Chain A
Amino acid sequence: MRRNLSLLFRLLRIQIRSQLQYPASFVMEVLSQAMILGFFFVAFAVTLSQFGDIGGWTLGEVALLWGLAEFSFGMMDMIFSGFDYDAFGPLVIKGTFDQLLLRPVNITMQVLGSRFVLRRLGKIIEGLIIFIIGLSLANVDWTLGRILYIPVLIFCQVLFFGSLFIFGATTTFWTKERLEILNVFTYGGSEIMSYPMHIFPRAIRLLFSFVVPAIFLSYFPMVYILDKPNPLNMPVFTSFLAPFIAISMFWLSLKFWRFGIKNYQSTGS
């Protein structure tokens, strides 16, 4: 394990170094990314100002949800770049994945180390700014529990989104192409996690509760942190299922990943 980790860090260090080769253009790209991504929130904010609230939630309250999801997704997108199905699909098709199998190192570590997209910092910064806006606008009765739950949530969301990436990457063993449909759960998941989820129709809510349990990672926990009424009448403990859900999802995704590799080795490409 220690050897794997040190190797992973070595791989990452080298990639970071090569991406920072032109620091000025790198900074430009990160900032412009942050700006472009942030405009979605700005568009939402100016739209919301015509209405006042959405589903009983104020701009600051939504900003907390929004910032958290953007920040975590950005973190995940950077750490799990190797499992980004946009990049992993071609890896399988071109046979580069075979090359990884020929090296005497844990395969999951190698995929993690195969790609590290540092410019995702743009999304991370954007998420952070939106979250800070949320903190300054929303009236939160901060208790120790609520404060401590924030980093736990970030960790859980990173694991949650990461497991979606791993699921997505694994499917490309069979499909041999990247299917856009996966975006519904990854990018779409992060989008609907940015809103108080009781505003969505029942079918969408059920999909994101039981198939892809996103609701447990943003909406229910935030109901606790903001002490909001829960129109869905869920028991209080649902606010604290995030760690359980995230870890189970991640574990499942790794199982599926192993199964995918095994299948790949028995069917070939």
Chain B
Amino acid sequence: MNAFFATIHTSFRRQLTYRAANLSGLFTNLMFGFFRAAVLIALYKEQTSVNGLSINGAVTYAGLTQSLIGVMSFFHWYDLMHTVYDGRVGADLLRPINYFSYWLGIDIGRALGALIIRGLPLFLVFSVFYDITLPESLIQWNLFALSILFALLISFSWRFLVNLASFWTPNALGIGRFAFGLSWTLSGFYFPLALFPDWLANFCRLTPFGASLYFPIQVFIGNVQGAEIMQGFFIQVFWVVTLIILGHIVLAQGVKKLVIQGG
């Protein structure tokens, strides 16, 4: 367990050192947040609420998705893949820490760093420009924090699984491009899923991608109540468990292959 926290700590510190990159990433996400908010405002015109989603909620949605990009590392994450291709994977597999936990530690550190120097400042600046919908109670804040934690676990386990493709093929990058494309497509990253037809929104909500972005944001802006919250958490827990188990199974197969064929 100590090794796990040490990994988080190191990774967190490293993330904080990329100052120029973080600053420019923050500005970029902020600008995209403004673009998306402007489009939503133009769509709503005089309407204050559509499909139960208020205009403020929709704008908050735009700001939150951009704040969470860095944290969830949605667009691309090929770090593990690179270690497979340049051979560092050998040493990593020999570490006295579970390979999945090792990378999870790195990812949690990275996510924490991104949250503090990229996500939070972005959302603060964003909220200066727009009327933001904030959680109204301590319970809601806590539920949001919990949903973010599960979201990160899902997002990481999915990225871990995708990266494992590199154990089998030298061209896992192409698979990654497809898989990550799929994840930001179905996560509700472009437009609030609440504005979609029900069947489509429900489908996205059930995928691990909706569970790792759309659901926490819904909790934040207070657009889900009671049973729906329970349902959302149930979907999250289901994906956390499923993806972690799947990750371990695939990893075991991959290691077997690596050992037999020598990479």
Contacts and interface: CB of A to CB of B under 8 A. Distances in A.
B20 A36 contact: no
26 contacts: A25-B171, A25-B174, A33-B181, A36-B185, A43-B185, A43-B191, A46-B195, A46-B197, A47-B43, A50-B50, A51-B45, A51-B50, A55-B42, A175-B20, A179-B21, A179-B24, A180-B28, A181-B25, A188-B28, A188-B35, A192-B35, A195-B42, A199-B39, A200-B38, A204-B35, A204-B38
A107 B121 CA distance: 42
A54 interface: yes
A23 interface: no
Contacts of A44: 190-191
A175 B185 CA distance: 32
Contacts, number: 88
A39 interface: yes
Nearest to A192: B35
Nearest to B29: A180
B143 interface: no
A184 B31 contact: yes
A93 to B, nearest CB: 14
Given A51-B50, A179-B20, A29 B178 contact: yes
A201 interface: yes
Q: Is the interface of B mostly helix, strand, loop or mixed?
A: helix
A50 B196 CA distance: 8
Interface in B137-180: 171, 174, 177-178
Given A181-B24, A191-B35, A33 B177 contact: yes
B28 A184 contact: yes
Interface in A164-184: 175, 177, 179-181, 183-184
Given A39-B185, A188-B28, 7 more contacts: A48-B43, A50-B195, A184-B28, A184-B32, A188-B35, A199-B38, A201-B38
A50 B51 contact: yes
B4 interface: no
Interface of B: 20-21, 24-25, 27-28, 31-32, 34-35, 38-39, 41-45, 47, 50-51, 171, 174, 177-178, 181-182, 185, 190-192, 195-197, 200
Interface in A188-228: 188, 191-192, 195, 199-201, 204
Contact of A184 (B27, B39, B178): B27
A177 B21 CA distance: 9
A43 B196 contact: yes
A154 B20 CA distance: 35
Q: Is the interface of A mostly helix, strand, loop or mixed?
A: helix
A180 B21 CA distance: 7
Contacts of A142: none
A230 interface: no
Contacts of A25: 171, 174
Contact of A29 (B27, B177, B190): B177
A21 to B, nearest CB: 11
Contacts of A177: 20-21
Nearest to A32: B178
A212 B185 CA distance: 28
A201 B182 CA distance: 31
A244 interface: no
Nearest to A48: B43
Contacts of B43: 47-48, 50-51, 54
Contacts of B178: 29, 32-33, 36
Contacts of A51: 43-45, 47, 50
Contacts of B35: 188, 191-192, 200, 204
Contacts of B182: 36
A188 B38 CA distance: 13
A86 B197 CA distance: 37
A40 interface: yes
